[in-house]
């Protein structure tokens, strides 16, 4: 997947140019179909989802009159008039349409976000450092405690572990902190009119209007990311229609509410629908025998068959029989290895990326008290601890290299600041958050 930069510190997963049919079955818009098992770091870095870090708050403020006036676009107004006919032909009530489009304008900011998706290369270890940061694990444990009763009921009903549902929540909206606050109809209408993937967004827009027509949510409360993903676990409208559930029993599938119950249940329903097996891990870290090849990893075998080939758990014994599995080498043969089961593929139905699936799976494990990945990543440098990363960010900021947020997360803004600092002192501008860098910051 392509990662994109929006704003200074935040990175998100953009929309791809090829929206495969898989998109229709995925709760949120995706870039492109997955490329199967990733076996080298070089491939991995181009295929990482970093969308969960995306910014949701627009600095300019929606509803600001100057923004609205500046974005008036006669072509857009004509398009809306034409689209109304198509929407009504698909069963949308004219009054529902008019109410939904009240005050809706073409939003050039949305188009900017869609078009200016800068590439941001990210290694798997950097991705996991932030996707499964100590803060996110701790906040996940707190969120689970806070919503334990609802999550337990959801687990009992759908057979999806509360830790897994919580982990998706953490990845998608930082446990409800970042739902996206852009008016959905305006974002989708802008993207449908803009036309780069007009057919896809027009379909989402009609779906969004049907949701309004159903009375689940008002136009004022129907908010989302710039790309149309909505609520605590970021469903796009067609996925909402197909999979969202009312779990609170008030007759509304409210995935936007402060109460995340409907959204969390909808996520569990989605995972269940795509074959989640309760009790089966996403994956288990394993040891590989000497001479193991990346080609061998792609085979699908039972754990006992893998054990016969020398692929065993970290305890040296065969991995318990959780069903058929392949071997996932997120950073090639030099990094950690995992035996991954069918549930790994189920998580990928949420976002078709191996790295995302591993992020969700590992975050769920850690929320449940599981241990960190044991083998080390082939980073090629001596990494900093989480606290050291924050110290590095503080030191960069103090020296005038614009770090937006002291959060221990290495995003494009921090990497740019590292590079600028490195250039200023005449060392190679590799942008790596290494022990060497921190030492240099302390010295200079």
Return residues touching Ca ion (CB under 5 A).
246, 248, 250, 252, 254, 262
Helices (H), 124-177: 124-131, 134-146, 148-158, 162-173
Backbone phi, psi, residue 282, to 5°: -65, -40
Q: Give Cα separations from 144 to 147, 150, 151, 161, 238 (angstroms).
A: 5, 9, 7, 11, 28
Query: Residue 262 CB, nearest distance to Ca ion (Å)?
Result: 4
Contact 289, 299 (CB under 8 A): no
Closest CA to 245 of 221, 220, 272, 224: 272
Contact 283, 169 (CB under 8 A): no
Query: Residue 249 CB, nearest distance to Ca ion (Å)?
Result: 7
Catalytic entry in 123, 161, 163, 172: 172
**Cα-based torsion angle of the residue sequence 288, 294, 299, 300 in order, rounded to the nearest 10 degrees:** 50
Residue whose CB is less far from Ca ion, 83 or 235? 235
Query: Residue 210 CB, nearest distance to Ca ion (Å)?
Result: 18
Query: Residue 59 CB, nearest distance to Ca ion (Å)?
Result: 32
Name the residue with tokens 């392949």: 326
Residue whose CB is less far from Ca ion, 261 or 326? 261
Q: Give Cα separations from 380 to 155, 413, 432 (angstroms).
A: 41, 21, 10
Active-site annotation holds for 172: yes
Residue whose CB is less far from Ca ion, 251 or 316? 251
Residue whose CB is less far from Ca ion, 71 or 248? 248
Residue whose CB is less far from Ca ion, 40 or 248? 248
Query: Residue 155 CB, nearest distance to Ca ion (Å)?
Result: 18
Catalytically annotated residues: 172
């Amino acid at each position: 997947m392509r990662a994109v930069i929006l704003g200074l510190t935040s990175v998100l997963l953009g929309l791809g140019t090829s929206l495969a049919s898989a998109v229709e079955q995925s709760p949120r818009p995706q870039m492109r179909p997955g490329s199967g098992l990733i076996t080298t770091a070089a491939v991995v870095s181009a295929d990482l989802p970093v969308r969960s870090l995306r910014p949701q708050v627009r600095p300019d403020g929606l509803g600001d009159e100057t923004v609205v006036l500046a974005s008036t676009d006669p072509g857009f107004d004509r398009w809306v008039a034409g689209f109304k006919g198509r929407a009504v032909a698909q069963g949308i009530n004219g009054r529902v349409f008019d109410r939904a489009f009240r005050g809706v304008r073409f939003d050039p900011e949305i188009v900017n976000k869609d078009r200016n998706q800068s590439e941001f290369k990210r290694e798997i270890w950097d991705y996991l450092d932030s996707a499964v940061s100590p803060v996110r694990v701790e906040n996940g444990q707190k969120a689970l405690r806070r919503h334990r009763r609802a999550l337990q009921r959801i687990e009992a009903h759908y057979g999806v572990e509360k830790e897994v549902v919580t982990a998706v929540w953490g990845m998608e909206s930082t446990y409800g902190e970042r739902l996206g606050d852009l008016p959905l109809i305006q974002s989708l209408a802008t993207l449908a009119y803009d036309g780069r993937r007009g057919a896809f967004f027009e379909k989402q827009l009609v779906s969004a209007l049907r949701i309004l027509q159903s009375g689940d949510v008002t136009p004022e409360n129907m908010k989302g990311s710039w790309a149309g993903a909505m609520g605590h676990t970021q469903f796009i409208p067609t996925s909402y229609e197909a999979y969202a559930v009312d779990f609170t029993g008030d007759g509304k599938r409210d995935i936007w509410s402060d109460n995340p119950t409907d959204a969390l249940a909808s996520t569990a329903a989605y995972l269940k629908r795509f074959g989640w097996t309760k009790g089966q891990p996403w994956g288990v870290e394993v040891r590989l025998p000497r001479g193991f090849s990346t080609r061998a990893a792609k085979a699908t075998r039972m754990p006992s068959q893998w054990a016969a080939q020398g692929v065993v758990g970290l305890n040296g014994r065969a991995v318990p029989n959780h069903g058929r599995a392949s071997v996932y080498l997120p950073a090639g043969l030099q990094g950690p290895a995992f035996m991954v089961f069918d549930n790994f593929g189920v998580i990928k139905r949420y976002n078709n990326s191996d790295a995302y699936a591993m992020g969700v799976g590992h975050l769920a494990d850690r929320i449940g008290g599981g241990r960190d990945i044991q083998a080390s990543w082939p980073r090629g440098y001596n990494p900093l601890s989480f606290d050291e990363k924050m110290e590095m960010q503080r030191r960069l900021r103090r020296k005038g290299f614009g770090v937006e947020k002291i959060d221990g997360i290495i995003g494009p803004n921090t990497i740019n600041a590292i590079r600028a600092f490195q250039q200023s002192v005449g060392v190679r501008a590799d942008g790596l958050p290494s022990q060497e860098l921190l030492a240099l910051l302390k010295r200079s």
